[in-house]
Amino acid sequence: MIERGRDIACLLLREGSLRKDLDEHQAIYAELMGDSDLYGDVARRVAAVGWELVQVLGHLGVRASPDGLDSVSRRNHMGLDARHMRLIAYLWVHLVYREWLDLRRDRLPTHGDGGQLRLDEPDVERRWYAWKAVFGEFERTMSQAHLKGVLRDLKRHRFIAYDERADRIWADASLYVLVDRNRMEEFVVDLARRLAVTDPAQAVTAVTTGSRAPEAIPGEDEAA
């Protein structure tokens, strides 16, 4: 187990998260979920170098731990800037946050409009958001060329997956693992309260697309 834990920890630190489209990665995920000792060994190994092992709704990856952030520069190494952070907040609330709400309501999935993601049913369609809707929302603040570039960056870093022809964008592992759900949820709920709207997604959309006064996006001051 020592060598196995070391190999998996190295892979996670190198890749950031386990990929859904690789059988090898999914076999590792199943192995970790079925072996608490191995999971604990991997968690201890990544913690020793300032990271934490995070498992969220079928996604597994690593992110800098609070202690790790205190000891190293908070400057990100993905080359993300404020445009990326605003798209991340916008897509997180329309995809991941709505998924969490649906899980709490114990609803079944329906084409991105609502529902519980049944992790024991791998063929169930993932929540998606319309590609054209994103361009329609951001056309006031970002050219199509710039927006496509930002979305390509987020896809490369595994925050999202998309199919332009099918008009769909899906959340990928980094959008689950790298974004602190508790911190982001607190932000969007408070933002909705201050903007006097009932739906946090409306509040985040208004701010990130420039139709309301800008608000600080969690992590935006750390982007570089």
Question: What tokens appear for 187 in the block?
Answer: 């932000």
What pLDDT, in 10s, does the model give residues 172-191? 999 999 988 888 889 888 98
Whole-number pLDDT of residue 216: 64
Q: Which whole-number Å values give the CA distances from 95 to 5, 36, 41, 160, 177, in the listed order?
A: 32, 29, 32, 10, 13
For the chain, the structural domain boundaries read: 2-71, 82-222
Write down the pTM of the prediction.
Answer: 0.75
Distance CA 173, CA 103 (A): 18
